[in-house]
Amino acid sequence: MKKILQELINGNLSMEEAEKMLKTMQISELEDFAKLDTARDVRTGFPEAIFAEGKDDSDLVKIIQGCAKRGRVLVTRLEEDRYFKIKDELKFLHGEGFKVEYNNKARILLLKDVEIEKQGKIGIITAGTSDIPVAEEARIVAEEAGCEVLTSYDVGVAGIHRLFSQIRRMLEEDVKAIIVVAGMEGALPSVVAGLVDVPVIGVPTSVGYGVGAGGFAALNAMLQSCAPGIAVVNIDNGFGAAVFAATMVKQTVK
């Protein structure tokens, strides 16, 4: 601003020109304010993420193409058959330096131009084998967000002894957070949080039937846990748990 005023005084700028320049500057500051860019800058570590469900194939391809111009892209909840349908339309990305990886368990399509450096570790545990897809979604998202991930699947409370050595290993590896994925009665996060001193992020899954259908029994059990140090995300929301965990981990390495 000083510079503009100086130019005005110096007569290099007419008052109209000065006024216009100040206003332009001001608008861009207004926009900066609204955008709170400081926040955004820090976020650039994350790839852009697209939720495929509820978008039709042609829209999806267009959105992917748009995002790919700005770097890595992560497409979640993309069923395998849909992936095969749109695969060819994404071929051109190879030419632009992208690696295209599809993980059918996690139902994630990953378009990568650069490898991301890993900083900080998290653990991911599932109660059963049916919870693995949600855990895999979380794993890939967390890795792409720059975390190293330790996994231990199918160690539910019904046979609690399987759990102990896994927890110990994760603590020894100094994980900064543990994501616990569980459907059915959702008891595992409570048990884990009773054993560890790192934050536990509970992810209820829609694995269950009868009163457990849809994952609500698991969700409520996690929210109502009598063990402290648990926070919860939406049912089947492996993505959200991973972003949350990675955001936490970033605080520890700043």
Separation of alpha carbons 215 and 204, rounded Å: 6
Determine which residue in the list 7, 18, 61, 148 makes contact with its own copies, applying CB under 8 A: 18
- In the window 26-55, what residues touch its own copies (CB under 8 A)? 26, 29-31, 33-36, 38-40, 42-43, 46, 49, 53-55
Applying CB under 8 A, the span of 66-74, 90-98, 109-117, 123-131 interacting with its own copies comes to: 123-131
Q: Which helix (H) or strand (E) holds 244?
A: helix 238-253
Separation of alpha carbons 79 and 125, rounded Å: 23
Characterize the bridge pairing of strands 230-232 and 148-152.
unpaired
- In the window 164-203, what residues touch its own copies (CB under 8 A)? 164, 167-168, 171, 176-177, 184-187, 190-191, 193-199, 201
DSSP 35-103: HTHHHHHHHTTSPEEEE-TTS-HHHHHHHHHHHHTTS-EEEES--HHHHHHHGGGGTHHHHTT-EEEEE
Determine which residue in the list 78, 90, 155, 241 makes contact with its own copies, applying CB under 8 A: 241
Q: Between residues 114 and 158, which has the closer beta carbon with respect to its own copies?
A: 158
Separation of alpha carbons 52 and 219, rounded Å: 24
3 binds its own copies (CB under 8 A): no
Q: Between residues 93 and 249, which has the closer beta carbon with respect to its own copies?
A: 249
Q: Which two tokens stand for residue 19?
A: 């006024």
The nearest distance, CB 219 to its own copies, in angstroms, is 7
The nearest distance, CB 99 to its own copies, in angstroms, is 23
Separation of alpha carbons 72 and 14, rounded Å: 46
Characterize the bridge pairing of strands 73-76 and 48-51.
parallel
Q: Between residues 109 and 167, which has the closer beta carbon with respect to its own copies?
A: 167
Determine which residue in the list 130, 143, 146, 148 makes contact with its own copies, applying CB under 8 A: 130
Q: Between residues 38 and 115, which has the closer beta carbon with respect to its own copies?
A: 38
155 binds its own copies (CB under 8 A): no
- In the window 67-106, what residues touch its own copies (CB under 8 A)? none
- In the window 207-236, what residues touch its own copies (CB under 8 A)? 207-236
Nearest to 147 by CA among 120, 169, 176: 120
**Nearby residues of 235 by Cβ (< 8 Å), 6 or more positions away:** 204, 205, 206, 214, 215, 216, 218, 219
**Nearby residues of 240 by Cβ (< 8 Å), 6 or more positions away:** 233, 234
Taking CB under 8 A as the rule, which mask of x and - marks residues 133-152 in contact with its own copies?
--------------------
Applying CB under 8 A, the span of 68-76, 87-95, 107-115, 206-214 interacting with its own copies comes to: 206-214
